[in-house]
Amino acid sequence: MLERLLNRLYGNEESESAARRDDLADSGATDATTPVDTSALTEHAARRQEEKQESTEAAGTDGPIDTDVVKENVIAAHRTVFDPEIPVNIYDIGLIYDINVEPSGMTHVRMTLTSPACPAAGILPGQVESATRSVAGVRDVILDLTFDPPWNPEMMSEAARLELGLL
């Protein structure tokens, strides 16, 4: 086998079928090939495609969506995410600067944190992205984390300030 490899490398190449035959003989295998029945695999792939199409239709994401309704639902989903240090949801705290839902379902979320050194920086953006993706009609999410403008307590909703005793 080594000799055949060296011959191929230095231009004394045998025919591909002769080399394969010799390799099979060296390994003790036979050259007979058994056809593989792929019908079960094809049926499984067809079922998965049908399930995917049915779930897309059930979610109402086929074609343009009502962007206002999806945006309201994204806001409701963001209100389920809480900063671990503040007992108020991140939307009312003012950490979500902008939500833009396109008719295709692509959703852009621009958010901030209370400070660049925020201990929740490792978890909050992921939680916001997951909450956004969970909304029917959202096909994909682009999350932009920004510190411009920097967050300040005046960005909180009146309800958040009331809950925190700042009013």
Q: What is the torsion angle, in degrees rounded to the nearest 10, for the CA atoms of residue 47, residue 53, residue 58 and residue 62?
A: 180
Q: What is the pLDDT of residues 79-132, one digit of tens each?
A: 999 988 888 999 999 999 999 999 999 999 999 999 999 888 899 999 999 999
85 and 25, same domain (yes or no): no
149 and 81, same domain (yes or no): yes
Instruction: Judge if the upstream peptide bond of residue 149 is cis by omega within 30 degrees of 0.
Output: yes
Question: What per-residue confidence (pLDDT) applies to 77?
Answer: 97
Angstrom distance (rounded) from CA 96 to CA 82: 12
Regarding pTM above 0.75, the answer is no
The answer to whether the beta carbons of residues 151 and 159 sit under 8 Å apart is no
In a domain, 37, yes or no: no
Residue 119: domain span: 67-163
Tell me whether strands 140-145 and 96-101 are parallel, antiparallel or unpaired.
unpaired
CATH number at residue 110: 3.30.300.130
Q: What is the pLDDT of residues 142-152, one digit of tens each?
A: 999 999 999 99
In a domain, 157, yes or no: yes
99 and 155, same domain (yes or no): yes
In a domain, 74, yes or no: yes
Q: CA triplet 163, 98, 93: central angle to 5 degrees? A: 15
